[in-house]
Amino acid sequence: MPQIDKTLNNHAGFVKEAPEKPREKCGIFALAGYRGPGRAAMLAYLGLLALQHRGQESAGMAYGSPEGLVLLKGMGLVDRVFRRSSLTSITADTILGHVRYSTTGSSKSANAQPLLARSRDGSAIALAHNGNLTNTAVLHQKLFEEGHIFHSTSDSEIILTYIFQYRRKGLGEAVRKAVSLIQGAYAAVATDGREVVAFRDPGGFRPLVLGRLNGATVFASETAALDTVGASFVRDIKPGEIVSTVGGVLSSFSVPAAGKASLCIFEYVYFARPDSIIDGVSVHIFRKKVGRKLAERIPASVDLVIPSPDSGISAGIGLADALGVPLEWAIHRNPYLGRTFIEPTRAWREAAVRLKFNPINALIRGKRVALVDDSLVRGTTARVLIELLRAAGAATVHLCIASPPYRFPCYYGIDIPVASDLAVPGESLSYLAASIGADSVTFARAEDLYSSAGRGAENYCTACFTGYYPDEGH
């Protein structure tokens, strides 16, 4: 069985502050052969805005022009990187876009995507990738010994390098050759400015969908991006599938399937937008169902369900519904503040969380409360919210988490803190409850996630809470 490269999160020698929430690596949006009203670049901009939750560190687009492929990218949010006035002057009908959060490779402009490879004869290929390869170190070393000079510290450059090496076979065939060499998680789109090829790893770790808009082909990480640009959903790109589109003609071929389907189940739990549909399952309805399961597990009676803003809303609705108690938006979130995970110390992080949240005392005083969130990583936010609820007069606070505890690292493109930073490195639930100030802590179980998705465990990667890594043959 293939071995996972467990050094990959530091293969470029960087260590970064672990996030308060697990972080998705990237989002992809591509449009091929668009000749409808408006500009393809403006639609790509809207598509990337719809995927902003999947990456906030950098954004970019690549498109064809008479001078060859042009790259437009920078650090920061989509609306900071692109000026709408310059997008309207781009006439290309085919465009590839990307938003990034770094898990391998540091947060710097050289790692912003799409990545571009260009030869002296002017041929060029751009790539946008979501996921993490698991044989990065081996391939990196091999390419290095062959004389390849890397321009980024991202594993995505390895994929691009192989596609570029085989480009004379045609883009689709070059992608097929590249995917025979790489392992791990990838949902990706490549273009030479004319043809666009989308491909998903044989396990299907990361989502990728196909849509249509005014005769053009659209590829996107989530269906919510299709909705945003007015495209119709056609289907998911299948695990192991390579889909090529050129001149309006779509063709598809598949590489041999992996031993096990391995969609990241945390796409449903946390990463994807609630209004997205992944592999036929509504993310919001999945989360509501897990919330209903929590009603069977919570050890005490409550009067009120309060979702953690905004990550506990869908599960909170399900829990309140199943318990037959009201759901209240009893914690106000200030939407104008930045993310808390960049704060360097626990004290600062907690102060930032207090700045962000304020409880509505009149709803809470004297009530037995279930506080609901989708996941628990370091517990910083939960600890402060519980403190705020108690200060607001809550009689009891029972923390309900709509996923099992994180216990193991992710090697497939999700940034989860090291075990020593996790709220639940192996302690008992009563110890955890005491340490974050709750009367009890209830986690959803793995089987709650499977039953809510309507499919068995064999369809998903669950490594970060089970320790069974699909690449290792589990």
Q: Which active-site residues does the annotation give?
A: 26
**Residue whose pair of structure tokens reads 């790259």 in the numeric block:** 71
Q: Which of 219, 199, 186 is nearest to 103 (CA)?
A: 186
DSSP structural state of residue 358: E
In terms of Cβ atoms closer than 10 Å to its own Cβ (0-12, 13-18, 19+), residue 252 is middle
354-413 residues near ligand SF4, rule: CB under 6 A: 410, 412
Read off the tokens for 346. Answer: 């626990």
Structure tokens at 461: 């990667």
Our CB check for ligand SF4 shows the closer of 128 and 264 to be: 264
Tokens of 203: 């396990």
| Shortest reach from residue 228's CB to ligand SF4, in Å | 25
Q: Give the chain's length.
A: 474
Residue 255 CA: distances (Å) to CA of 175, 236, 403, 413:
11, 16, 32, 21
Q: Minimum distance between the CB of residue 406 and ligand SF4, rounded to whole angstroms? A: 8
Q: Which is nearer to ligand SF4, 21 or 367 (CB)?
A: 21
Distance CA 339, CA 351 (A): 12
- Contacting ligand SF4 within 240-279 (CB under 6 A): 264-266
The CB-of-414 to ligand SF4 minimum distance in angstroms stands at 4
The minimum distance between CB 238 and ligand SF4, in angstroms, equals: 18
233: three-class secondary structure by DSSP: strand
Contacts of 2 (CB under 8 A, 6+ apart): 134, 135, 183, 471, 472
Residue 207 vs 359, nearer CB to ligand SF4: 207
Strand ordering across the sheet containing 396-401: 304-307, 368-373, 396-401, 440-443
User: Measuring CA to CA, which residue among 169, 416, 86 is closest to residue 271?
Assistant: 416
Return the closest-CA partner of residue 416 out of 87, 104, 23, 88.
Answer: 23
Smallest distance, ligand SF4 to C-beta of residue 201, A: 11
| Three-class SS state of 216 | strand
Q: Where are the beta strands (DSSP E) in 271-375?
A: 277-278, 281-282, 304-307, 331-333, 357-359, 368-373
**At 18, phi and psi to the nearest 5?**
-70, 140
Task: Restricting to residues 306-365, name those near ligand SF4 by CB under 6 A.
Answer: none
Among 26, 25, 32, 24, residue whose Cα is nearest residue 231: 32
**Does 295 engage in binding with ligand SF4 (CB under 6 A)?**
no
CB of 407 to ligand SF4, least distance (A): 10
Closer to ligand SF4 by Cβ: residue 54 or 176: 54
Tell me whether residue 40 or residue 463 sits nearer to ligand SF4 (CB atom). Answer: 463
Kindly write out the interface string for residues 197-226 of this chain, putting x where it contacts ligand SF4 by CB under 6 A and - elsewhere: --------x---------------------
Which residue, 327 or 401, has its beta carbon nearer to ligand SF4? Answer: 401
Query: What would the x/- binding string for ligand SF4 be over residues 433 to 472, using CB under 6 A?
Result: ----------------------------xxxx--------
How many residues at the interface with ligand SF4, by CB under 6 A? 11
Sign of CA dihedral 126, 130, 136, 139: negative
Q: How far is the CB of 75 from ligand SF4 (least distance, A)?
A: 25
Cβ atoms 269, 287 nearer than 8 A: yes
What is the nearest approach in angstroms of ligand SF4 to the Cβ of residue 182? 16
Helix (H, G, I), strand (E, B) or coil at 129: strand
| Binding to ligand SF4 in span 405-434, by CB under 6 A | 410, 412, 414
Return residues touching ligand SF4 (CB under 6 A): 205, 264-266, 410, 412, 414, 461-464
